[in-house]
Amino acid sequence: MIKVGVVGGTGYTGVELLRLLAQHPEVELKAITSRGEAGLPVADMFPSLRRRVDLKFVDPQSADLGNCDVVFFATPNGIAMKQAAELVAAGVKVIDLAADFRISDVAEWQKWYGMEHACPELVAEAVYGLPEVNRAAVRQARVVANPGCYPTAVQLGFLPLVEAGVIELDSLVADTKSGVSGAGRKAETHILFSESADNFQAYGVAGHRHLPEIRQGLSRFAGGAPVGLTFVPHLTPMIRGIHATLYGRLKKDVKDVDLQALFEERFAGEAFVDVMPKGSHPSTRSVRSANMCRIAVHRPQGGDVVVVLSVIDNLVKGAAGQAVQNMNILFDLPETTGLSQIPVMP
Considering the domain boundaries, does residue 209 fall inside one? yes
Considering the domain boundaries, does residue 344 fall inside one? no
Asked if 42 and 162 sit in the same domain, the reply is: no
Q: Determine the structural domain holding residue 225 and report its residue range.
A: 150-314
Task: Give the chain as a 3 state SS string.
Answer: CEEEEEECCCCHHHHHHHHHHHCCCCEEEEEEECCCCCCCEHHHHCHHHCCCCCCEEECCCCCCHHHCCEEEECCCCCCHHHHHHHHHHCCCEEEECCCCCCCCCHHHHHHHHCCCCCCHHHHCCCEECCHHHHHHHHHCCCEEECCCHHHHHHHHHHHHHHHHCCECCCCEEEEEEECHHHHCCCCCHHHCHHHHCCCCEECCCCCCCHHHHHHHHHHHHCCCCCCCEEEEEEECCCCCCEEEEEEEEECHHHCCCCHHHHHHHHCCCCCCEEECCCCCCCCHHHHCCCCCEEEEEECHHHCCEEEEEEEECCCHHHHHHHHHHHHHHHCCCCCCCCCCCCCCCC
Q: Count the domains in the chain.
A: 2
Asked if 116 and 256 sit in the same domain, the reply is: no
pLDDT at 187: 78
pLDDT at 144: 98
Q: What is the pLDDT along the chain (346 residues), one digit of tens a residue?
A: 999 999 999 999 999 999 999 999 999 999 999 999 999 999 999 999 999 999 999 999 899 999 999 999 999 999 999 999 999 999 999 999 999 999 999 999 999 999 999 999 999 999 999 999 999 999 999 999 999 999 999 999 999 999 999 999 999 999 999 999 998 888 788 888 888 999 999 999 999 999 999 999 999 999 999 999 999 999 999 999 999 999 999 999 888 899 999 999 999 999 999 999 999 999 999 999 999 999 999 999 999 999 999 999 999 999 999 999 999 999 999 999 999 999 999 8
Report the CATH number that the domain containing residue 103 is assigned in CATH.
3.40.50.720
pLDDT at 17: 98
pLDDT at 14: 96
Amino acid code (one letter) for 309: L
Asked if 111 and 231 sit in the same domain, the reply is: no
Considering the domain boundaries, does residue 346 fall inside one? no
Asked if 91 and 177 sit in the same domain, the reply is: no
pLDDT at 186: 81
pLDDT at 183: 87
Considering only CA atoms, which of 290, 281, 306 is closest in space to residue 159?
Answer: 306
pLDDT at 190: 86
Considering the domain boundaries, does residue 174 fall inside one? yes
Asked if 289 and 168 sit in the same domain, the reply is: yes
pLDDT at 109: 98
Residue 149: active-site member: yes
Considering the domain boundaries, does residue 145 fall inside one? no
Last residue of a domain, one of 125, 140, 173: 125
Asked if 55 and 177 sit in the same domain, the reply is: no
Asked if 202 and 110 sit in the same domain, the reply is: no
Asked if 299 and 169 sit in the same domain, the reply is: yes
Asked if 196 and 117 sit in the same domain, the reply is: no
Considering the domain boundaries, does residue 142 fall inside one? no
Considering the domain boundaries, does residue 322 fall inside one? no
pLDDT at 184: 87
Last residue of a domain, one of 125, 158, 188: 125
Report the CATH number that the domain containing residue 222 is assigned in CATH.
3.30.360.10
Question: Exactly one of 68, 119, 149, 293 is catalytic; which is it?
Answer: 149
Asked if 120 and 171 sit in the same domain, the reply is: no
pLDDT at 185: 86
Asked if 177 and 51 sit in the same domain, the reply is: no
Considering only CA atoms, which of 260, 172, 185 is closest in space to residue 221?
Answer: 172
pLDDT at 243: 98
Considering the domain boundaries, does residue 325 fall inside one? no
pTM, to two decimals: 0.97
